[in-house]
Amino acid sequence: MKDFKILLINCNTMLDTLVTAGIGILSASLKESGIQVKLFDTTFYRTAEQTGDEARAKALQVKQTSFAELGIVPESGDVVDDFVDLVGSYQPHLIGLSSIEVTHPLGVRLLDAVKGTGIPTIAGGPYATFAPEIAIRADSVDMVCVGEGEQALVELCQKLRDGGDITGIANLWVKSGGQIHKNQVRKPVDLKTLPRQDWSVYDERRFWKPMGGKISVTGTFEMNRGCPYDCTFCINSGYKELYGGFGGYYREQDVVRLVDEMAEKKEQYNLVYVYLVAESFLTTTRKRVETFARLYKEKVGLPFWVEARPESITGDKIALLNEMGCEGISVGVESGNAELRKNMLGRDIADKTILRAFELLRETGIRVSANNVIGFPTETREMIFDTIRLDRQVQPDGVMVSFFSPYKGAKLRDLCQQMGYLKDEDIAMDYRLGPTMDMPQMSAKELIGVHRTFPLYVKFPEDEWKHIEIAEHDTPEGNAAFKEYSERYVNEYLS
């Protein structure tokens, strides 16, 4: 097999157009090794009733935007039929599925549809990493990649091409001869050794991304991989455990290399906005932030968005962000109940630290959002209102609220299963679309009601809360109240 071909599947949620750094780096790594790559992307197929952006706009978290105005609408064809046709025309030697938990079932449907071709398949991504024993049960899945895929997938393709033994490749679980060969996880890759992202595999529509109420041509860049913290509701806690024998999973990309790639991609793709992948952008040395600020301003100079932990926000770092053109920053409040934050979520952060972070940001001109999560196991309505009250004190520009989704890999997933809220094989919901669990102290129905009115409670006077409470209910009266308040909210805070 001189010319080895792989077909990658980006099993993505509907119209979530932001390009993923992972696929770009994976494609570049394969091509660098002489492997031909084609991508099948589910992004533009109607695979859900509504998009995440639509759900957030309805819940008053973001300004409403319209892809249709750019001519971007879901494909009319069937996602499975189109995939089967592509497999038939491209004739790959390997099919690689990249999925997250919410899209994994769709990915397996795609693989099921081509099982008769005999083309070997491999599943990777967060769900395959943290539920390999479930992922490999599927008849159409021949291999699973546990952990990072760049080196493992290149080695797999080379051995398949050359007729070598694939059963001992590190990071892979391989079905062979009625057995499953479960190999050890290899050392985390040095980010500086990875090639720059290959964006040529993407449909050009993938670069249009809604941010701050505008749809802009946006590039995604991996500033670091993993997270130095250990929040129990996040799958980074799982990566930290998986790579514990290597000293952890968190690594930082070289700043000079990173900015050079940004400048290159800016010119090549006419970027006007940058999305930085960093779980906590400011949790690093001051020297690193200063170096990035200087080089970014000099070579890139585009508005960008980042996430930050409250305790990482200092006056000098914020001044640097403002100076280099940071347009938006999301700060993790998560919960306003200090006991829940510390004892369940693994976030031992005082309220005063959170308040101070937002105070420092208030005068910068940077668009500031508060990230909140509701629906944790044991969380009550009163605890959720602790979060609302803390948000009222910090007064962010944007109020973001997600449903807690107990994804495989997050430490809290185990507790949820122990409490009987879900089974081992249950797939967690998209955190933007709905709750996964129905709990005795907080039903799914109640959570949905609080979720849609959360920004109203944060922004409107407390003497209106009784009327806002009516808007929580999916009844004629409740929906009328929600419509009335929504119009006010959009006019006053999202216009």
SS3 276: strand
pLDDT tens track for 191-237: 999 999 999 999 999 999 998 889 999 999 999 999 999 899 999 99
Average pLDDT on 245-259 reads: 95
Dig out the tokens for 489 from the structure. 């909210």
Q: What is the pLDDT of residue 347?
A: 94
pLDDT at residue 188 above 80?
yes
Phi, psi of 385 (to 5 degrees): -70, -20
Dig out the tokens for 60 from the structure. 């008053």
- Distance separating alpha carbons of residues 162 and 113, to the nearest angstrom: 27
Q: How far apart are the first and last CA of the chain?
A: 58
Phi, psi of 95 (to 5 degrees): -115, 125
pLDDT at residue 244 above 80?
yes
pLDDT at residue 1 above 90?
no
pLDDT tens track for 52-110: 999 999 999 999 999 999 999 999 899 999 999 999 999 999 999 999 999 999 999 99
Instruction: Name all domains of the chain by residue range, CATH numbers in brackets.
Output: 5-51+76-182 (3.40.50.280), 223-459 (3.20.20.70)
- Distance separating alpha carbons of residues 188 and 244, to the nearest angstrom: 11
Q: How far from 385 is each of 232, 247, 271, 489, CA to CA, in Å?
A: 21, 38, 40, 19
Dig out the tokens for 436 from the structure. 């996964």
Task: With cut-offs at 50, 70 and 90, classify the pLDDT of residue 280.
Answer: confident
pTM of the entire structure?
Answer: 0.95
Average pLDDT on 291-313 reads: 95
Closest-CA residue to 455 (of 394, 401, 415, 386): 401
Q: What is the pLDDT of residue 63?
A: 93
Helix 381-394 vs helix 351-362: crossing angle, to nearest 10: 30
Average pLDDT on 384-394 reads: 98
pLDDT tens track for 437-483: 999 999 999 999 999 999 999 999 999 999 999 999 999 999 999 99
Average pLDDT on 12-32 reads: 96
Closest-CA residue to 96 (of 85, 107, 112, 84): 107
Q: Which residues contact 416 (CB under 8 A, 6 or more apart)?
A: 377, 406, 422, 437
Task: With cut-offs at 50, 70 and 90, classify the pLDDT of residue 342.
Answer: very high
- Distance separating alpha carbons of residues 361 and 304, to the nearest angstrom: 16
For the chain, the helix, strand and coil percentages under 3-state DSSP, each to the nearest 5: 45, 20, 40
Average pLDDT on 14-34 reads: 96
Q: Which long-range contacts (CB under 8 A, 24 or more apart) does 292-295 make?
A: 292/255, 292/258, 292/259, 292/324, 293/320, 293/321, 293/323, 293/324, 295/255, 295/256, 295/259
